[in-house]
């Protein structure tokens, strides 16, 4: 697929919300909605090259989502494993490089192993960079980063005088990614829920009512294209 060069967003981040309500509306258990939601991801990833979106980051499970019932949490963990096993070949073949962000410490070893394997299997790909956030929270990420940074200061590898925003960024899970240009949240909620707090300082936001399992590549494309008309000033005044 040819890559378009546009003034569109290079990095789009998506808060995939509304799976539970989508299922409830159909009188089905919440996990039914999560399965439908997982199936949506492929279509959105495949739409990226033609739209000039090089980086796509999706929020799959937050550090706060552990507060849900054991059934839902266990079902989601099982779904992530199944998703990785099922999608690996297609991702490898279609040029998608996958990375995971978030704290792996609380995840099952078998899931972490699959995540590591998928990262390795796709490490030579470069068409689209898909980042999946699992057990991710913006505050948690910054906290973990600061802890590692403080450790390096304590070890004498870094002086506190050299700590600036660029240095701190290097300790974040997203250190290899550019900042998101556009953050989309589905399901009508207009909040960030702890997603990419540091990285989205100057991102554009788009909140849409569509529930994630109904979110199509066509709707995604429409939002991405409309971004090109936005005037991003980054605090400056245009002369």
Instruction: Report the C-alpha gap between 13 and 188 in whole angstroms.
Output: 16
Asked if 215 touches Mg ion (CB under 5 A), the answer is no
Taking alpha carbons only, the member of 232, 235, 233, 224 closest to residue 55 is 224
Figure out which of the listed residues 8, 9, 20, 102 binds ligand IPE, where binding follows CB under 6 A.
20
Q: Which of 17, 87, 141, 173 binds Mg ion (CB under 5 A)?
A: 17
Which segment (17-25, 84-92, 176-184, 214-222) binds ligand IPE by CB under 6 A? 17-25
Near ligand IPE by CB under 6 A: residue from 38, 51, 62, 111: 62
Contact 52, 10 (CB under 8 A): yes
Q: Which C-beta is closer to ligand IPE: that of 62 or that of 131?
A: 62
Please report the DSSP string for 24-42 in residue order. HHTT--HHHHHHHHHHHHH
Residue nearest to ligand IPE according to CB distances in the complex:
20
Contact call for residue 191 and ligand IPE (CB under 6 A): yes
Q: Which residues are catalytic?
A: 17, 65
Q: Which region among 11-19, 103-111, 137-145, 150-158 touches ligand IPE (by CB under 6 A)?
A: 11-19
Residue 42 interacts with ligand IPE (CB under 6 A): yes or no: no
Q: Which residues contact 149 (CB under 8 A, 6 or more apart)?
A: 158, 163, 167, 168, 171
| 196: CB partners within 8 A, 6+ apart | 13, 57, 138, 174, 180, 183, 203
């Amino acid at each position: 697929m040819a890559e378009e060069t546009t003034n569109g967003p290079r990095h789009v981040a998506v808060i995939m919300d509304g799976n539970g309500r989508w299922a409830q509306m159909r009188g089905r258990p919440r996990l039914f909605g999560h399965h439908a939601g997982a199936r949506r991801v492929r279509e959105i990833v495949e739409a990226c090259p033609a739209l000039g979106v090089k980086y796509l980051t999706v929020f799959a499970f937050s550090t706060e989502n552990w507060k849900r019932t054991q059934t839902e949490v266990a079902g989601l963990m099982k779904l992530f494993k199944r998703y990785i096993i099922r999608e690996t070949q297609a991702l490898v073949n279609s040029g998608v490089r996958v990375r995971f962000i978030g704290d792996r410490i609380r995840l099952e070893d078998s899931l972490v192993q699959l995540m590591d394997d998928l990262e390795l299997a796709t490490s030579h790909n470069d068409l689209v960079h898909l980042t999946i956030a699992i057990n991710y929270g913006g505050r948690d990420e910054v906290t973990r980063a600061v802890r590692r940074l403080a450790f390096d200061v304590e070890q004498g590898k870094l002086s506190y005088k050299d700590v600036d925003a660029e240095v701190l960024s290097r300790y974040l899970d997203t250190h290899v990614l550019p900042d998101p240009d556009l953050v989309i949240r589905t399901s009508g909620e207009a909040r960030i829920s702890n997603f990419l707090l540091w990285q989205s300082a100057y991102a554009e936001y788009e909140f849409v009512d569509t529930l994630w399992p109904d979110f199509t590549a066509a709707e995604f494309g429409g939002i991405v294209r409309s971004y090109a008309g936005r005037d991003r000033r980054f605090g400056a005044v245009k002369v």
